[in-house]
Chains A and B, each alone.
Chain A
Amino acid sequence: MTFAHRHLLGIEQLKPDDILAILDLAETYVDLNRKSDKHSDVLSGLTQINMFFENSTRTQASFELAGMRLGADVMNMSMQASSIKKGETLIDTAMTLNAMHPDLLVVRHPHSGAVDLLAQKVNCAVLNAGDGRHEHPTQALLDALTIRRAKGRLHRLNIAICGDIAHSRVARSNIMLLGKLENRLRLIGPPTLMPAQIGEFGVEVYEDMSEGLKDVDVVMMLRLQKERMDGGFIPSEREYYHRYGLDAAKLSLAKPDAIVMHPGPMNRGVEIDGTLADDINRSVIQDQVEMGVAVRMAAMELLARNQVARRMA
């Protein structure tokens, strides 16, 4: 199995085999992470820098832990606080870091395409940890691993993605990944939170949640991004919860064994009922967090192998 990519910028560039290669390797890290000795040396001697131009506690912690468990030297840079305020451009920042010879660069940025731009300017492997509304590939991979483990397969499933699709990079990456593996996708949300011409992506679009949830195997909820709500996309949080929030009644329309997912952080009582989120029989939200570390370890290992091979060549 070859994974012939220098960077992990998005799901768009990956072939189904690439996706499965990451997931298969991640399985081994799930096992490792459950042991008391969680240490591996595959990234020993390599340097990983996490550059977050946008706030994130969970994703950054997940990447940091993944790197440390693989033996990399990990450095975190919170970019809102630093040079950006002094007027340095993204490319200058990238060039500066590049001069420090990192091997893996994990980047999150508020603008779509910013991570692609940065990847063009550096010598190391770049992992996209979320760029604007564009892609968040490791989230889609961890979701895929969670689904595969819960459902026993990752194809021919009916999967509903619900909520703020328009502003969601998680939705875009998931649409691409789950579509490539031949699942049936439904997008559910108010039309104000749907991207233009999304129907052309090979998905079914529902404005009525009860209709959209009928007989699905997986319900993937998205966070309602409060910070992006100033344009008045919805009338109020309580009306949104009434129409698009996931509760037991709405979930009863899905298959009896349907699982509930959420990328976090959750707004309890806005997009999802709190009790439901905590229901270990339906919710796999904590599994997603666990899979996140494993998937990131796998992705970093594959990229690091290519990176080292490239240096040798």
Chain B
Amino acid sequence: MTNILFTNARLIDPESGIDDLGTLLVRDGRIAAEGHEVAVPDDVELVDCGGKCLAPGIVDIGVKVCEPGERHKESYKSAGLAAAAGGVTTIVTRPDTMPTIDSPETLEFVTRRAQVDAPVNVVPMAALTKGRDGREMTEIGFLMDAGAVAFTDCDHVVSNTKVFLRALTYARSCGALVMAHPQEPTLSAGAAATSGKFASLRGLPAVSPMAERMGLDRDIALIEMSGARYHADQITTARALPALERAKRNGLDITAGVSIHHLTLNELDVADYRTFFKVKPPLRSEEDRLAVVEAVKTGLIDTISSMHTPQDEESKRLPFEEAASGAVALETLLPAAMRLYHAEYLTLPDLFRAMALNPAKRLGLPVGRLTPGAPADLVLFDPDAPFILDRSTLRSKSRNTPFDGQRMQGKVLATYVAGQPVYRRA
């Protein structure tokens, strides 16, 4: 295994909060030393970073790879290549495939496929209830033995509170992390937009942002009862934040994430019914967006993810209400996040805390930091390099990005997993 010395690098370490020029040594796939004065061994490959940023690779919770079932939308190979090109070194996959990943057998299939085809780390999540139907819990113990790092029914809310309480209680006994989608499902049924002036103008069926807080309030009560480890997949509204803050203050084992789309876009981006901007939950008002950005800054919201959801052209080329939800984002996560950096909302250590360190910590993974001893999962990027996104260049099999044709800043130059290059910009 080659050893690499990154010199002249702008090191971004979310754990220490460092954003400073320095040197980083990788030996045997692990970070061996970092800082200003690193002793240079003889047998190393030198990489002069030219002052560009070197940060821990992104750990992305909630990526949809469409195997099994819809490989034409995204395979482990295409998702892995997209991740590598986007600086994502660990993808944490969702179980909302066809069939659902709800048994050790389906989980093993996925793990095997990922090992063969994906150049980045793949850690799977499994469903919390069989078929994501919200009726019977899955074999949480067996699934953990098979490698599941968290349990989630994705965007299906377990609406039967008794079932959810039992699943949370059982999960707690296994030490399992449960990821849920906070939403009052009867209130949000059929909604394609967030209620407000824009949805009223466009005549779209809409849901109040309050539905998210109602879902979160219920879940918080259940965590209090069960003591479960809980992660809210996406908190996207200002009104949900005080509840989250209180729950954390009361010592509940709760964390929360947000998608990059809810941090960088708002409901007005839907404009004339552009279905590539249809995501779940729907894009929010600008006030909500700013509140959520601030919550990432303060650490109230722990993680940023891509919520990568491939959809083919056919499922998007429909009237807005009928069109499928979701956007691909593995390759655009980092450049989109740079918008928050350039707008001076968040620093680079802030961003990598939410994109790498916090998700890794929550899942108990040793990555997400530049600490000596940690696996050398790294991304080298130029935060300033401008480009106009052309979706036809994306590596995902599906190209449903809301950023097509938009001006972006921030290019990934190289990505390393365990010290091995998995992507180099041509």
Chain A contacts to B: CB under 8 angstroms: 12, 89-91, 109, 111-114, 116-117, 131-135, 169, 172, 195-198, 200-201
Residues from chain B with Cβ under 8 Å of A114 in the complex:
319
CA distance A12 to B200 in the complex (A): 13
B197 pairs with A112, CB closer than 8 A: no
Residues from chain A with Cβ under 8 Å of B199 in the complex:
195-196
Report B287 CB to chain A, min CB distance, Å: 13
- 6 closest cross-chain pairs (CB), A and B: A113-B273, A133-B203, A134-B203, A195-B200, A114-B319, A111-B319
A111 pairs with B314, CB closer than 8 A: no
B203 pairs with A196, CB closer than 8 A: no
Residues from chain A with Cβ under 8 Å of B200 in the complex:
195-198, 201
Residues from chain A with Cβ under 8 Å of B272 in the complex:
113, 116
Residues from chain A with Cβ under 8 Å of B203 in the complex:
112-113, 131-135, 169, 172
B 195-206 binary contact with A (CB < 8 Å = 1; else 0): 111011111111
Report A221 CB to chain B, min CB distance, Å: 20
The DSSP consensus for interface residues of chain B is: loop
Residues from chain B with Cβ under 8 Å of A12 in the complex:
201
Which of B195, B196, B317, B322 lies in contact with A111, CB distance below 8 A?
A: B322
Residue B139 CB within 8 A of the other chain: no
Known contacts A134-B202, A197-B197; A89/B321 CB under 8 A:
no
A112-B319, A172-B203 given; 4 more Cβ-contact pairs under 8 Å? A109-B319, A113-B202, A169-B203, A196-B200
Chain A residue at minimal CB-CB distance from B321: A111
Q: Which of A12, A117, A200, A201 has the most CB of B within 10 A?
A: A117
The DSSP consensus for interface residues of chain A is: mixed
Which of A112, A197, A200 lies in contact with B321, CB distance below 8 A?
A: A112
Chain B residue at minimal CB-CB distance from A112: B203
CA distance A195 to B198 in the complex (A): 10
Residues from chain A with Cβ under 8 Å of B318 in the complex:
89-91, 117
Q: 15 A–B contact pairs at CB < 8 A?
A: A12-B201, A91-B317, A111-B319, A111-B321, A112-B203, A112-B321, A113-B272, A113-B273, A113-B320, A132-B203, A134-B203, A135-B203, A172-B203, A197-B200, A200-B197
B 152-195 binary contact with A (CB < 8 Å = 1; else 0): 00000000000000000000000000000000000000000001
How many cross-chain pairs have Cβ atoms below 8 Å apart between A and B? Answer: 68
Which of B206, B208, B314 lies in contact with A89, CB distance below 8 A?
A: B314
Chain A residue at minimal CB-CB distance from B206: A196
B196 pairs with A196, CB closer than 8 A: yes
Interface residues on B, range: 20 to 34
CA distance A89 to B324 in the complex (A): 14
Residues from chain A with Cβ under 8 Å of B197 in the complex:
196-197, 200-201
Which of A90, A117, A169 lies in contact with B273, CB distance below 8 A?
A: A117
Residues from chain A with Cβ under 8 Å of B205 in the complex:
133
Residues from chain B with Cβ under 8 Å of A134 in the complex:
202-204
Report B172 CB to chain A, min CB distance, Å: 37
CA distance A90 to B315 in the complex (A): 12
Report A171 CB to chain B, min CB distance, Å: 10
Residues from chain B with Cβ under 8 Å of A112 in the complex:
202-204, 273, 319-321
Residues 287-344 (chain B) with a chain A CB within 8 angstroms: 314, 317-322
Report A86 CB to chain B, min CB distance, Å: 15
Which of B314, B317, B319 lies in contact with A113, CB distance below 8 A?
A: B319
Q: Which of B195, B201, B318 has the most CB of A within 10 A?
A: B201
CA distance A274 to B273 in the complex (A): 39
Report B104 CB to chain A, min CB distance, Å: 36
Report A8 CB to chain B, min CB distance, Å: 15
Residues from chain B with Cβ under 8 Å of A196 in the complex:
195-197, 199-200, 206, 208
Residues from chain B with Cβ under 8 Å of A197 in the complex:
195-197, 200
Chain A residue at minimal CB-CB distance from B273: A113
CA distance A196 to B203 in the complex (A): 10
Residues from chain B with Cβ under 8 Å of A200 in the complex:
197
CA distance A270 to B196 in the complex (A): 29
Report A34 CB to chain B, min CB distance, Å: 35
Residues from chain A with Cβ under 8 Å of B320 in the complex:
111-113
Known contacts A196-B199, A198-B200; A90/B319 CB under 8 A:
yes
Residues from chain A with Cβ under 8 Å of B195 in the complex:
196-197
CA distance A43 to B269 in the complex (A): 39
CA distance A200 to B200 in the complex (A): 10
A132 pairs with B206, CB closer than 8 A: no
